[in-house]
Structure 1
Amino acid sequence: MTVTRLDGDQLAQCIDELATLLIDAVDGGASVGFLAPLDHAAAATWWRGRAEPVATGRLAVWAARDGARVLGTVSLAFPDKPNSRHRAELVKLMVHRDARGHGLGRTLLETAESAAAATGVTLLHLDTETDSPAESLYRSAGWTRAGVIPDYAAEPGGLLRPTTLYYKHVKALPAAVDEAAGAAGRPLAR
Structure 2
Amino acid sequence: MITALTAPEMDSHLDALAGVLHATVLDGASVGFILPHDLSEARAFWQALRPEVAAGDRQIFVALEEGELAGVVSLITGMPRNQPHRGEVSKLLVHPNHRRKGLARQLMTTLEAAARDHGKTLLTLDTRTGDTAEPLYRTLGFEVAGVIPGYCLSVDGTRHDSTTYMYKPLR
Normalising to structure 2: TM-score of the pair?
Answer: 0.96
Aligned to 1:170: 170
Amino acid at match of 2:170: V
Structure 2 equivalent of residue 25 of structure 1: 24
> How many pairs were matched up?
170
Q: How do residues 1-190 of structure 1 correspond to structure 2 at under 5 angstroms?
A: 2-158=1-157, 159-171=159-171
Q: What's the CA shift string for 1:163-189, capped at 9, x where partnerless? A: 000000112xxxxxxxxxxxxxxxxxx
| Amino acid in structure 1 at the alignment position of 2:45 | W
Supply the AA of the counterpart residue of 1:110. T
Counterpart Cα distance in 1 of 2:13 and 2:66: 12
CA deviation vs aligned residue, 1:79-107 (integer Å, no higher than 9, x gap):
34222110011000000111111111111
- List runs of 5+ in structure 1 lacking aligned partners: 172-190
Q: 1:183 is matched with which residue?
A: none
Where do 5+ consecutive residues of structure 2 fail to align?
Answer: none
Matched AA of 2:29: A
Deviation of 1:125 (Å): 0.3
User: Over aligned residue pairs, what C-alpha RMSD do you find?
Assistant: 1.0
AA aligned opposite 2:14: I
TM-score norm. by structure 1 comes to 0.87
What is the aligned partner in structure 2 of residue 180 from structure 1? none
1:38 CA drift (Å): 1.1
Structure having the higher Rg: 1
Deviation (angstroms), 1:25: 0.7
- Contact 2:25–2:31 (8 Å) recurs in 1: yes
Equivalent residue letter for 1:101: R
Q: Percent identity?
A: 39
| Partner Cα distance (2:90, 2:44) in 1 | 17
